[in-house]
Amino acid sequence: MLVLTGEGPEAFCAGADLKRIETLDSRLDSPAGPLGFTRLASPKPTIAAISGWCLAGGLELALWCDLRVGTETARLGFTERRFGVPLIDGGTQRLPRIVGMGRALDLIISGRVVEAPEALAMGLLTEVVAPGGHVVRALAMAEGIAAVPQETMLSDRQATLEGSGLALAEGLELEARLGRDRTGVARSGALRFAGGEGRGAAGTGV
């Protein structure tokens, strides 16, 4: 598991330094992405632990993560819109997949900042916690994810992420192919369940 967070409670990340905008051209062609890895796929689940400002490239970094836990102080938006700076770390591609096209266009076109309750309602945040609790909660979620059988969790994650850009029939074939490769793990889990483990949904969830 991977948890990303800022150095303090004031901000997760406020994006690139616009005073160094002259570096933009060289960063656009980076195969890893301008922020260093936003065009790469993480091999493991990732959680953004957000407190305070999460703006511009910082929001794009949070969108790179699978889950986003924010405090009640979290503020998210593409404020670079006000200065004519484009989204270049995947925001235009990931945000619609997370919140839907309509909500994504609202945030991308307007550049407005949304507070934690609205971000939670639209699915931009996975969960909202009290101030100071974002890292603890993100780590607890990571531990919960780490406790489930990893092989099938990772293949289901792969099917979800890769299938989002496919036609339904192709996505179903991807899901079936990955599922066939995990039948041994499935049988082992089914035997544990038949033996009484996990009855009543005990031990589920993060």
Which one from 7, 22, 60, 162 is the annotated catalytic residue?
Answer: 60
Which amino acid type is present at position 203? Answer: G
Residue matched to tokens 């990340």: 13
Token duo for residue 160: 């979800």
Q: In 3-state terms, the chain is what percent helix, strand and coil (to 5)? A: 50, 15, 35
Distance CA 202, CA 81 (A): 46
Whether residue 72 lies in the annotated active site: no
Spell out the residues 6+ positions from residue 137 whose beta carbon is closer than 8 angstroms to its own: 49, 69, 127, 129
Count helices and strands in the chain by DSSP H and E runs: 9, 8
Whether residue 60 lies in the annotated active site: yes
Which one from 7, 80, 118, 197 is the annotated catalytic residue?
Answer: 80
CB 115 within 8 A of CB 70: no
> Catalytic residues, which ones?
60, 80
